[in-house]
Amino acid sequence: MSTLTAVARNAEGFLERVEDWDRELALEIAREAGIAELTDRHWLVVNYMRDTYIKTGTAPTIRTLGKESGVQVKELYALFPKGPAKLAAKIGGIPKPKGCI
Amino acid sequence: MSLDKVSIIVSKGSLEGVYPALIMANGARMEGIEANVFFTFFGMDAINKARHDAIKVATVGNPGLHLMTWLGGVPGISALVTKQMMKQMEKLDIPPIPEFLELISDSGGKLYACKASVEMFGLTKDDFIPQVESIITVGEFYQMAAGGQINFT
């Protein structure tokens, strides 16, 4: 039984409420996005996105993500081929990043 | 229908000619869209090792700046306006051009130089930053762009 069906999500699949998130949900969202397993490297990025959002109210840019998360840009795209910032935000249960960068 | 690929042609060597293309290319990669950037004519300054650190805002013939025409040509004005604009962009976490090109390349975006322009300006691959994949013809560009959208800046 999927717990994903029990939480509110927008049309693009982002959680409506940040506080609904847990690691189990993260795994289900990842699988839905075509990422079968979340490795420690994935978690490093997802946690950084989520922590930054909770601390500052905005998700980091891809530039900052590559410099500060501990995972560089090349690897970010290897981990999240369909867009690291967008996917890590979705998996981390925070809103889609609003910036253009 | 979703967009899978964009190919962007950069033909101008001014800051306002280069940045929109880089922002669009990086934005495409962030959405998981394949991105090619093709530098031609003065746009090649953006990938020219000796020049891409000194790309400036065009202050002459640029009504969008709302500067008096004569002022635009005063020595130093272009550098000053560029400095202001770069400061503003740094606030928005938009990188300087050399770093931005690295970011796009690391993101899987592909950078190319136009063969006709390279020959016309007497350049070689060594004049370009290492992130440039290759020097290609217009025909090769169209083959590469096939099935996606092409934007000209």
Structure confidence at residue A4 (pLDDT): 86
* Mean pLDDT, range B2-18, rounded to an integer: 96
- Give contacts of B94 with chain A, Cβ < 8 Å: 63, 101
Assigned CATH for A4-91: 1.10.10.370
Q: What is the pLDDT of residues B46-72, one digit of tens each?
A: 999 999 999 999 999 999 999 999 999
How many structural domains comprise chain B? 1
**Cβ separation of B93 and A72 shorter than 8 Å?**
no
Structure confidence at residue A1 (pLDDT): 43
CATH of the domain at B84: 3.40.1260.10
**Mean pLDDT across chain A, nearest whole number?**
95
Active site residue A17: no
Helix%, strand%, coil% for chain A, nearest 5: 55, 0, 45
Answer for the pair B85, B15: CB distance below 8 angstroms, yes or no: yes
Cα distance between residue B66 and residue A50, in whole Å: 42
Alpha carbon separation from A3 to A7, A11, A32, A88, B144 (Å, rounded): 7, 17, 13, 19, 43
Please tell me the number of Cα atoms within 13 Å of B124 on its side-chain side.
Answer: 1
Structure confidence at residue A2 (pLDDT): 58
Out of A63, A66, A100, the one facing B27 most closely (by C-beta) is A100
Provide the residue ranges of all domains of chain A, joining segments of one domain with +: 4-91
* Mean pLDDT, range A15-44, rounded to an integer: 96
- The residues, ordered by sequence, that sit 6+ positions from B18 with a Cβ below 8 Å of its Cβ are B10, B12, B43, B45, B46, B55, B97
Cα distance between residue A67 and residue B106, in whole Å: 13
Domain hosting residue B52, numbered range: 5-152
- The residues, ordered by sequence, that sit 6+ positions from B87 with a Cβ below 8 Å of its Cβ are none
ipTM, two decimals, is 0.93
Q: What is the pLDDT of residues A32-68, one digit of tens each?
A: 999 999 999 999 999 999 999 999 999 999 999 999 9
Cα distance between residue B121 and residue B10, in whole Å: 16
To the nearest whole Å, the CA of A65 is away from the closest chain B CA by 11
Cα distance between residue A60 and residue A48, in whole Å: 9
Alpha carbon separation from B97 to A87, B80, B93, B127 (Å, rounded): 26, 17, 12, 16
Cα distance between residue B145 and residue A47, in whole Å: 37
Query: Which pairing describes strands B34-39 and B149-152: parallel, antiparallel, or unpaired?
Result: unpaired
Structure confidence at residue B39 (pLDDT): 98
Which of A12, A45, A73 to probe by mutation at the B interface, max B CB count within 10 Å? Answer: A73
**Cβ separation of B108 and A86 shorter than 8 Å?**
no
Cα distance between residue B64 and residue B89, in whole Å: 18
